[in-house]
Amino acid sequence: MEQRLNMQTFKRKNDMNKKIRVAILFGGRSGEHDVSLMSARSVLSVLAPARYEVTCIGITREGEWVTGAHVLEAMEKGETRDLDRVILSGNPKQAELYVLRPTKMGAKFETLTPVDVFFPVLHGPFGEDGTIQGLLELADVAYVGAGVVGSSVGMDKGVFKDVMRANNIPIVESVLVLRSEIEKDMNAVIEKVEQMGAYPFFTKPANLGSSVGVSKCSSRSDLGEGIMEAARFDRRVIVEQGAVNAREVEVSVLGNDLPEASVCGEVLPSREFYSYESKYIDGTSGLLIPSQLPKDVTDQVRDYAVRAYKAIDCAGMARADFFVEKDTNRIFLNELNTIPGFTSISMYPKLWEASGLPYAKLVDRLIELALERKSERDHTEKMYRSES
């Protein structure tokens, strides 16, 4: 593993007996809200009480920040009315969590327990796309995962594909269309897509994950319906050429400046593709870990994953998803997920477990990496004074 800020060193600098104070952020204004709650529950289950002092912050579907003794359970039930409202100041001199407390005169803000590192377990828009990362950067706090650029480029499938093309990393053919184009002339959009080649095509919201809003389209009517479904979740829709007779291969990446790739795993979908239901609801898709691909192919997949990770200036973690043609072993990168699913059946932690890093140690390592990245940011000059 790369040189790192050791957790024990961090403790000695602050207080030998002091726990690391972690704030878990989950929920959010996204179609992946429910997935985030599942991921948060898994992460919380492995944060050792002897090492961490944990604050749970839920973000409702409307964007309110809330906390309370049983905030996760309340969020799962959709019963957030009685929870305390929370605000994070973007002022680096007052980068604290404030909770709204009722008083006889109305209400006032009180400071919550200070936080050493924020752990966003937020999937999709307003969590994985650089927006929450921008707030945390403004507040000048340590946080798990990629920064603003890595998050936003990794989230936007259209921009991401352009960056991969520029770095000579093979990707599936795709067309990006706007909701305004779709509303103006659906037939023109369909004709534009069909110029890529033969069916099937996959329609996806450009800024969403967990297979939300994704459709496999085998005909013109399918394509129209799929485009409309994707446009429900984003004003930009990506339509990809379907990878025919291909394996779905995934690899997990971990690290900051010197990232490492896990073993490769293969998804064996129980449905037509690796859908939301098979990922999170019924868990019926099989996972082959490690994959049975030839070593030269897995080595190339892992190399592409690390190169893609570096190309978007990712940090902390990401899961890279590939297609590998069964007949030719040609490799195509599909996407990079900067906050991959963390549920008990999610591929990201399973791949690291197969690589020798169990779930709890993986969470520890991500917190380490967040503290390391914050230490690196603190060495950056933020003011310039001319010597003249």
Q: What is each CA distance from 50 to 10, 20, 115, in whole angstroms?
A: 15, 10, 16
Domains and CATH numbers, the chain: 7-144 (3.40.50.20), 154-169+245-374 (3.30.470.20), 174-241 (3.30.1490.20)
Span 120-160, pLDDT tens digits: 999 988 999 999 999 999 999 999 999 999 999 999 999 99
Contact residues for 331 (Cβ-Cβ < 8 A; gap 6+): 170, 297, 300, 301, 304, 322, 323, 324
- DSSP string computed for 114-170: --SEEEEE--STTTTSSHHHHHHHHHT-EESS--HHHHHHHH-HHHHHHHHHHTT--
User: Length of the chain in residues, anyone?
Assistant: 388
User: Which pTM was predicted?
Assistant: 0.86
Beta-strand relationship, 52-59 and 20-27: parallel
Span 43-78, pLDDT tens digits: 999 999 999 999 999 999 999 999 998 999 999 998
Q: Is the pLDDT of residue 303 over 90?
A: yes
Contact residues for 105 (Cβ-Cβ < 8 A; gap 6+): none
Q: How confident is the model at residue 377 (pLDDT cuts 50, 70, 90)?
A: very high
Note the pLDDT of residue 40. Answer: 96
Contact between residue 35 and residue 343 where contact means Cβ atoms under 8 Å apart: yes
Percent of the chain past pLDDT 90, that is, above it, reads 73
Q: Is the pLDDT of residue 170 over 50?
A: yes
Least confident of 82-96, 169-183, 217-231, 295-309: 82-96
Note the pLDDT of residue 355. Answer: 97
Residue 351: which of 248, 249, 252 has the closest Cα? 252
Q: How confident is the model at residue 321 (pLDDT cuts 50, 70, 90)?
A: very high
Span 81-113, pLDDT tens digits: 889 999 998 888 887 899 988 777 777 888 888
Percent of the chain past pLDDT 70, that is, above it, reads 90
Note the pLDDT of residue 212. Answer: 74
Q: What ranges in 312-358 are assigned the alpha helix state H?
A: 347-354
Note the pLDDT of residue 335. Answer: 92
Note the pLDDT of residue 270. Answer: 61
Span 252-283, pLDDT tens digits: 999 999 999 999 999 987 655 444 455 444 45
Mean model confidence pLDDT for the chain: 89
